[in-house]
Amino acid sequence: MQTADVVIVGGGVMGCALAYQLARRGLGVLLLERDALGVGSTGRCAGGVRQQFSSEINVRLQRLAVRLLLEFDEETGGHAGFRQIGYLFLLTSPELVDDFRCLLEMWRRLGLEEARWTTPAEARELVPGLEVGDVLGGTFCPTDGLAGPADVTSGYARAARRFGARLLEGVAVTGLGVRGGRIEEVVTTGGRVSTRLVFDCAGAWSAEIGRMAGLELPVFPYRRHVLVTDAFPELGRTSPMTVDLAASLYFHPEGDGVLIGMSDWSEPPTFSTEVDWGLVERMAAAAAARLPALGRAGLKTAWAGLYETTPDHHAILGPAPGVEGFWCACGFSGHGFMQAPAAALVLAQLLLEGRSEVDIGPLSPRRFAEGELISERAVI
């Protein structure tokens, strides 16, 4: 039987970032990915990285994540492709305006001083041609931006391997051996592994891994679509990620085209990633209503992937109550690409040093049973 200090289930950005942070601290890491590294939600992600959130814990984590992404190339030898083109939130109701005015104060208190209020006219300067007739105001943070999901994932994976981590593809975890209330082994399609520590980094499939240990983790899969247009030079390549929050619509430059995303909140949880072409048409129309020039753009491609959503739209990070040795790094609710660098660092610190530079107590799996859910309103 193989042995490992720690087994990481799932080879998306989260699993790879964690493999790196734990291996560089000297742990014998075995990461098991049933398919190929980065082909889950990570491979379908829009690459957005922002610090403008409504909960303090998300802002703190994201400020750390931005610092780590800026240091990524030097630290890992990879290339994050981090471009700080900013995020522009467009607010179309008095309630959103009041909310974001208060959020700006909270962001400043947490050190996010560069975020600023934006009038409709300023929004149009940032994104020429933007339809702002219904926009009451907005916020813009120039240090938000975009990074490359595949590049960040492979950069962490390569760096983890340099520190001796074993990252195996095509090996699925099929069971967990729990004896006397603690993890003892991991059952896989490639045999059994003896270990006392498992990290659940299985994204939208995390609840399934939890059930293998007798845990109910509230992580639900929601299908989310994006489309990419043909070449569209009318939108500048440094134009910010633009978010119409009430419509759950966003777009940003992608290659020589534009990537457009929009959530369909009415769809129940599903593991299907089949493209709903009717929705893609509605997304294109909604984007053209916000930026009329987009009405002339051709469709290059579209795809769907899964958000791994929790009841309070916050990640689940830390040891699970009731099963010693089972740790969660999941439930990112559509923000896992941007949160993984910080989540991996603070989890490694918590595990090995007993405390972390951002207190992730509020994200503990205990909060669901204890009724201590956190609100996050800036959900796209």
Ligand X SMILES: Cc1cc2nc3c(=O)[nH]c(=O)nc-3n(C[C@H](O)[C@H](O)[C@H](O)COP(=O)(O)OP(=O)(O)OC[C@H]3O[C@@H](n4cnc5c(N)ncnc54)[C@H](O)[C@@H]3O)c2cc1C
| Nearer of residues 42 and 118 to ligand X, judged by Cβ | 42
Figure out which of the listed residues 6, 23, 29, 45 binds ligand X, where binding follows CB under 6 A. 45
DSSP per position, 280-313: HHHHHHHHHHHSGGGGGPPEEEEEEEEEEE-TTS
For position 14 contacting ligand X by CB under 6 A, the verdict is yes
What is the nearest approach in angstroms of ligand X to the Cβ of residue 98? 26
Identify whether the C-beta of residue 224 lies closer than 8 Å to the C-beta of residue 307.
yes
d(CA 362, CA 51): 18
State the alpha helices, DSSP H only, in the chain.
13-23, 56-76, 94-109, 120-126, 149-162, 206-212, 277-290, 336-353, 366-369
Identify whether the C-beta of residue 110 lies closer than 8 Å to the C-beta of residue 358.
no
Figure out which of the listed residues 335, 342, 365, 368 binds ligand X, where binding follows CB under 6 A. 335
Stretch of 35-43, 80-88, 110-118, 263-271 lying at the interface with ligand X (CB under 6 A):
35-43
Figure out which of the listed residues 46, 160, 262, 294 binds ligand X, where binding follows CB under 6 A. 46
Total binding residues toward ligand X, as defined by CB under 6 A: 41
| Nearer of residues 10 and 148 to ligand X, judged by Cβ | 10
What is the nearest approach in angstroms of ligand X to the Cβ of residue 61? 11
What is the nearest approach in angstroms of ligand X to the Cβ of residue 87? 10
> Rounded to whole angstroms, what are the CA distances from 331 to 109, 281, 289, 359?
27, 29, 32, 17
What is the nearest approach in angstroms of ligand X to the Cβ of residue 310? 11
| Nearer of residues 14 and 320 to ligand X, judged by Cβ | 14
Stretch of 12-20, 84-92, 177-185, 263-271 lying at the interface with ligand X (CB under 6 A):
12-20
DSSP per position, 242-290: EEETTTTEEEEEETTEEEEEE--TTSPP-------HHHHHHHHHHHHHH
Stretch of 70-78, 83-91, 329-337, 351-359 lying at the interface with ligand X (CB under 6 A):
329-337
| Nearer of residues 12 and 137 to ligand X, judged by Cβ | 12
What is the nearest approach in angstroms of ligand X to the Cβ of residue 315? 9
DSSP per position, 195-216: -S-EEE--GGGHHHHHHHTT--
| Nearer of residues 72 and 337 to ligand X, judged by Cβ | 337
Residue 241 forms beta bridges with which residues?
Answer: 87
Figure out which of the listed residues 86, 137, 221, 336 binds ligand X, where binding follows CB under 6 A. 336
d(CA 48, CA 375): 21
For position 173 contacting ligand X by CB under 6 A, the verdict is yes
d(CA 182, CA 187): 15
For position 41 contacting ligand X by CB under 6 A, the verdict is yes
The single-letter code of the amino acid at 84 is Q
**What residues from 123 to 162 belong to the interface with ligand X (CB under 6 A)?**
none
What is the nearest approach in angstroms of ligand X to the Cβ of residue 174? 7
| Nearer of residues 140 and 332 to ligand X, judged by Cβ | 332
For position 253 contacting ligand X by CB under 6 A, the verdict is no
Identify whether the C-beta of residue 330 lies closer than 8 Å to the C-beta of residue 219.
yes
What is the nearest approach in angstroms of ligand X to the Cβ of residue 115? 18
Identify whether the C-beta of residue 228 lies closer than 8 Å to the C-beta of residue 284.
no
**What residues from 258 to 317 belong to the interface with ligand X (CB under 6 A)?**
261, 305-308
**What residues from 197 to 236 belong to the interface with ligand X (CB under 6 A)?**
201-205, 224, 226
| Nearer of residues 173 and 350 to ligand X, judged by Cβ | 173
> Rounded to whole angstroms, what are the CA distances from 183 to 1, 323, 346, 364?
15, 7, 22, 19
Stretch of 27-35, 99-107, 121-129, 317-325 lying at the interface with ligand X (CB under 6 A):
27-35
Identify whether the C-beta of residue 13 lies closer than 8 Å to the C-beta of residue 156.
yes
For position 35 contacting ligand X by CB under 6 A, the verdict is yes
| Nearer of residues 126 and 157 to ligand X, judged by Cβ | 157
Identify whether the C-beta of residue 377 lies closer than 8 Å to the C-beta of residue 54.
yes
Q: Which residues bind ligand X (CB under 6 A)?
A: 9-15, 32-35, 39-42, 44-48, 172-173, 201-205, 224, 226, 261, 305-308, 330, 332, 334-338
